[in-house]
């Protein structure tokens, strides 16, 4: 693997503002995602990927041709957008070689410090090359680290035609950070037996389970009047929301759950006296429990209508994604070969669960088994974000080993 080439690409990608914009209404939601996609197509064509293309949705596809026509097709995926939780404009990456393992004071904002106390893996990066922000933006390692890794894997395979392999399909999605990464993926174009999503933290993680997820959109309808004359007339939707939130069991909140616990998470509230809308995330590893959690919301809604006469509460459940484990059981080699790849390299690994979702969750649900792999990310969605170049190289090496295993399948 060419470490310098991977680093240069990563630095180029993170300096393109491709922040997802939830309220945009467009797909992709920001022009920077189109910009980085065009760059990726140019770079893919330069390295010899003749069919590289960016479709009308901004999604990039390409094929590294194999030398075993009957071998299964392996796909690699990551997303080009970055989280709207912290700005991705004017990113100024800071490369630290032979890192000393100590706290890092960020140059653009001295109050921002990446500390070993809050991020123990920072000390473990001693002697390696890390890339940080300047403290005023995120870095964008989520998931431009994955993009850079996949591009280097593709380049390496092209430079090493002696490696036995089937076709390797690569594709880069948009708007993953706002829940729309797979909305327009053409699975017939991907046409793969298995896919690996490089969108995980650190090194050596093989994510084989995610939450199953629904979202409840709950609308409270009241009656607004001038507050000076509100007696016996006003029915305040905001107060009804307060009663609803108070009725939710605290033990089902994210603040009180971990491991394999599910939760109910009220995360968006918008409205006024006449009408207020609350969005609640419903999460659990056991897909069947989503209905149980929704019942808790329904019971809270019934309680509110009894406590607040005249209030109308309507609830819509929107399906979001499903636990990838539900689909991976149909293709156990997807995880098995990832395990074997780490073992062949003499690397430690962990088969892990994700208290969230990935593009792999939806891809697996749609029929393309897609576990998630580490890509050297740390402190994501934050101005304290950093990435480890050595871990990115390690991830690429795992990808190469996975390709070799599928060639023999």
Q: Identify the pLDDT of residue 49.
A: 98
1 Cβ contact list (under 8 Å, min separation 6): 152, 156, 393, 396, 397, 400
Handedness of CA 179, 184, 190, 192 (dihedral sign): positive
Which are the catalytic amino acids? 81, 176
Pairing of strands 263-271, 104-105: unpaired
Q: Using one digit for the tens of pLDDT, what is the confidence trace for 59-69?
A: 999 999 999 99
Protein fold of 3-210+323-407: Aminopeptidase (3.40.630)
Q: Using one digit for the tens of pLDDT, what is the confidence trace for 133-161?
A: 999 999 999 999 999 999 999 999 999 99
* pTM of the predicted protein model: 0.92
- What confidence tier does 390 reach under pLDDT thresholds 50, 70, 90? very high
Q: Using one digit for the tens of pLDDT, what is the confidence trace for 244-255?
A: 999 999 999 999
Burial zone of 25 (CB within 10 Å; 0-12 exposed, 13-18 middle, 19+ buried): exposed
Over range 195-224, report the average pLDDT. 96
Burial zone of 69 (CB within 10 Å; 0-12 exposed, 13-18 middle, 19+ buried): exposed
Which of 177, 117, 115, 121 shows the shortest CA–CA distance to 146? 177
Q: Identify the pLDDT of residue 22.
A: 87
Q: Could you state, in order of their start, the residue ranges of all structural domains in the chain?
A: 3-210+323-407, 212-321
Q: Using one digit for the tens of pLDDT, what is the confidence trace for 284-338?
A: 999 999 999 999 999 999 999 999 999 999 999 999 999 999 999 999 999 999 9
Considering the chain, what percentage of its residues have pLDDT values greater than 90?
98
Q: So what CATH class is 212-321?
A: alpha beta
């Amino acid at each position: 693997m060419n470490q310098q080439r991977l680093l240069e690409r990563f630095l180029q990608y993170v300096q393109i503002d491709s922040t997802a914009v939830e309220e945009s209404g467009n797909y992709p939601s920001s022009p920077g995602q189109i910009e980085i996609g065009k760059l990726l197509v140019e770079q893919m064509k330069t390295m010899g990927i003749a069919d590289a293309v960016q479709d009308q949705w901004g999604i990039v596809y390409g094929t590294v041709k194999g030398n075993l026509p009957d071998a299964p097709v392996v796909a690699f995926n990551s997303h080009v957008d970055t989280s709207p939780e912290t700005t991705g404009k004017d990113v100024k990456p800071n490369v630290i070689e032979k890192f000393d393992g100590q706290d890092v004071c960020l140059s653009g904002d001295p109050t921002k410090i990446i500390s070993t106390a809050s991020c123990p893996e920072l000390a473990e990066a001693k002697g390696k090359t890390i890339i940080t922000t300047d403290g005023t933006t995120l870095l964008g390692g989520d998931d431009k680290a994955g993009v850079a890794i996949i591009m280097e894997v593709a380049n390496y395979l092209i430079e090493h035609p002696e490696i036995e392999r089937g076709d390797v399909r690569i594709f880069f999605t948009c708007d993953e950070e706002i829940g729309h990464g797979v909305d327009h993926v053409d699975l017939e174009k991907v046409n793969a037996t298995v896919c690996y999503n490089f969108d995980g933290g650190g090194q050596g993680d093989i994510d084989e389970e995610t939450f199953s997820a629904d979202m409840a959109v709950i609308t409270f309808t009241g009656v607004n009047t001038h507050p000076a004359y509100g007696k016996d007339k006003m029915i305040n939707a905001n107060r009804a929301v307060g009663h609803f939130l108070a009725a939710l069991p605290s033990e089902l909140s994210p603040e009180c759950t971990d491991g394999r616990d599910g939760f109910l998470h009220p995360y968006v509230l918008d409205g006024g006296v006449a009408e207020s809308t609350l969005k609640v995330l419903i999460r659990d590893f056991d897909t069947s429990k989503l209905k149980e959690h929704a019942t808790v919301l329904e019971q809270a809604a019934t309680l509110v209508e009894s406590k607040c006469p005249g209030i109308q509460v309507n609830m819509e459940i929107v399906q979001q994604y499903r636990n990838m484990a539900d689909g991976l059981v149909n293709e156990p080699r997807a995880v098995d070969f990832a395990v074997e790849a780490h073992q062949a390299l003499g690397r430690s690994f962990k088969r892990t669960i994700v208290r969230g979702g990935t593009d792999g969750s939806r891809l697996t649900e749609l029929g393309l088994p897609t576990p998630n792999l580490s890509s050297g990310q740390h402190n994501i969605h934050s101005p304290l974000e950093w990435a480890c170049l050595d871990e990115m190289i390690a991830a690429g090496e795992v990808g190469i080993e996975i390709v070799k295993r599928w060639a023999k399948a």
